[in-house]
Amino acid sequence: ELSFNFYAGSCPGAELIVRNTVRSASSSDPSVLGKLLRLIFHDCFVQGCDGSVLIRGNGTERSDPGNASLGGFAVIESVKNILEIFCPGTVSCADILVLAARDAVEALGGPVVPIPTGRRDGRVSMAANVRPNIIDTDFTVDKMINIFSSKGLSVHDLVVLSGAHTIGAAHCNTFNSRFKLDPKGNLELIDASLDNSYAQTLVNKCSSSLDPTTTVVDNDPETSSTFDNQYYKNLLAHKGLFQTDSALMEDDRTRKIVEILANDQESFFDRWTESFLKMSLMGVRVGEEGEIRRSCSAVN
C-alpha cells in the first residue's frame, strides 16, 4: 500500500520540503546529517518504521539510555511544522524520518534512494523495546546476524547498512573499552583487532577531555563528511571504530562482503540502495492503521 510519490495529490511539495529543510539545517550544523541517518536505524528496528523513536515522555523509546545519544529530532519537527502549514494532518512522521535519512545520505555525496511513502505513525513507544532490538557495540557477528534476520534482513544487509558508519561521529564511551592506559599512560590494546596507531589517535582525542560521554570522534577517520565506501577500506586496515565494526572482518561470511564493497564504490551504492529501501519498509503501518501525528514528538 506504500507507493512512490504517495503525497503527489495531497501534498505535492512534501519531499522537496523535507529535502530543503535537511539541507538548510545541515548548512548551520553539519552534524545533523549523521544523526538523521542513525535515527532511521533506531526507528525501524524497534516496532518498524513508524516514528516510535520520536515520541517524547516518560517510558518512551526516546527516554531509554540506549537512545540517549540520538539527535536530529529538531530537524524532523521543523519539517513537520512546515508541512502542517501547507498540508495539515497529511504527511506522517514515519515518512519524514525515512525521507530525511535518505536526503542526508544524498547531501554527503551518497546515492539517492527512491523511497515509497504512505507509512502511518505508530501510537506506541516503549523504552523496554529498545535494548532487545538495537545492537550494542559488544555484540558478536552471530548476534548481529540473528537480530538482522529476525527483521527479515540478511548478512548482506548487515554489512551494507553498517556502511552508514562512513559518516557521523561517536562518543568516546562507545569504543574506549577496546583499549586502556597502563599506569605510565601507555596504550594497552584490549581488543587486538584494532590498529595500534589508530588506537593511539583515539586515546589522544578521548583523553583531551575528561568526559567520555560528551567528547565525539569521527566514525570514519578518513572521510567522515562523505558518504563513500571508505568505511570498508578502514575495516581492511583494522580501523573499525566499534568492536562491532571490526567484528565484520573476523567472520568469513561478512569479511568477504567487506572486501567486495571496499573495492567497488559503485557496488556499495547499488547495494546501499537495496538495503536501505529494505530497512525503510520494515514493519510499516499503512491504510487505516496508526495515525498521522500532528506533532512528531507526541501521539495525537
Residues that bind ligand HEM (CB under 6 A): 31, 34-35, 37-38, 41, 69, 71, 135, 137, 144, 161-162, 164-165, 167-171, 174, 219, 242, 244
Question: And the C-alpha cell for 36?
Answer: 538523521
Helices (H), the chain: 14-28, 32-44, 73-86, 93-107, 130-133, 141-150, 155-162, 196-207, 230-236, 243-247, 252-263, 265-280
Residue 42 among the catalytic residues: yes
Which of 193, 299, 166 minimizes the C-alpha distance to 250?
193
**Smaller CB distance to ligand HEM: residue 44 or 127?**
44
Stretch near Ca ion under the rule CB under 5 A, chosen from 44-52, 110-118, 135-143, 269-277:
44-52
**Smaller CB distance to ligand HEM: residue 72 or 290?**
72
Residues 160-189: x/- map of binding to Ca ion (CB under 5 A)? ------x-----------------------
117 binds, among ligand HEM, Ca ion, none (CB under 5 to 8 A by kind): none
**Phi/psi zone of residue 116: left (φ > 0), alpha (ψ -120 to 50 degrees), beta?**
beta
Q: Is 47 in the site for Ca ion (CB under 5 A)?
A: yes
Phi, psi for 255 (deg, rounded to 5)? -60, -40
Question: And the C-alpha cell for 24?
Answer: 538548510
CB 281, min distance to ligand HEM, A:
14
Task: Please pick, from the candidates 15, 103, 121, 220, the single residue that binds Ca ion as defined by CB under 5 A.
Answer: 220
60 binds, among Ca ion, ligand HEM, none (CB under 5 to 8 A by kind): none
**Smaller CB distance to ligand HEM: residue 67 or 292?**
67
**Smaller CB distance to ligand HEM: residue 68 or 298?**
68
Answer yes or no: are the C-beta atoms of 124 and 61 closer than 8 Å: no
Question: And the C-alpha cell for 198?
Answer: 589508530
At residue 21's C-alpha, the angle toward residues 18 and 23, to 5°, is 110
**Smaller CB distance to ligand HEM: residue 216 or 299?**
216
Catalytic residue among 42, 156, 165, 238: 42
CB 243, min distance to ligand HEM, A:
8
230 binds, among Ca ion, ligand HEM, none (CB under 5 to 8 A by kind): Ca ion
Question: And the C-alpha cell for 120?
Answer: 502511518
Q: Which residues lie closer than 8 Å to 194 by C-beta, 6 or more apart?
A: 178, 179, 238, 239, 240, 246
Active-site residue numbers? 42
